[in-house]
Structure 1
Amino acid sequence: MSHSSASPAPARAVKLAPSILSCDFSRLGEELQAIAGADWAHVDVMDGAFVPNISFGLPILAAARRASNLPMDVHLMIERPERYLRDFAEAGADSITVHVEATQHIHRAVQQIKELGKKAGVTLNPGTPLEAVRPLLADVDLVLVMSVNPGFGGQKFIPASTERVRTLRGWLDEVNPQAELQVDGGVTPANARLLAEAGATCLVAGSAVYGADGGAAGVQRLRDALA
Structure 2
Amino acid sequence: MTAFTHALPRKPVRRAAAVGLVAAGALFLSACGGDDMSGMEHGSGNSSASASASTSASATAEAGSTGFNDADVAFAQMMIPHHQQALAMARLADGRASDSEVKEIAAKIEKAQDPEIRTMQGWLKSWNQPTAAAGAMPGMDHGSGDGMMSDGDMEHLKGMKGAEFDKMFADMMIEHHEGAITMAEGERKNGEYAGAVKMAGAIVQGQSAEVKQLQSILDRL
TM-score tier by shorter-chain length is under 0.3
TM, length-normalised to structure 1: 0.27
Richer in strand (by share): 1
Richer in helix (by share): 2
The structure showing larger relative contact order (alpha-carbon pairs under 8 Å, at least 6 residues apart) is 2
TM, length-normalised to structure 2: 0.28
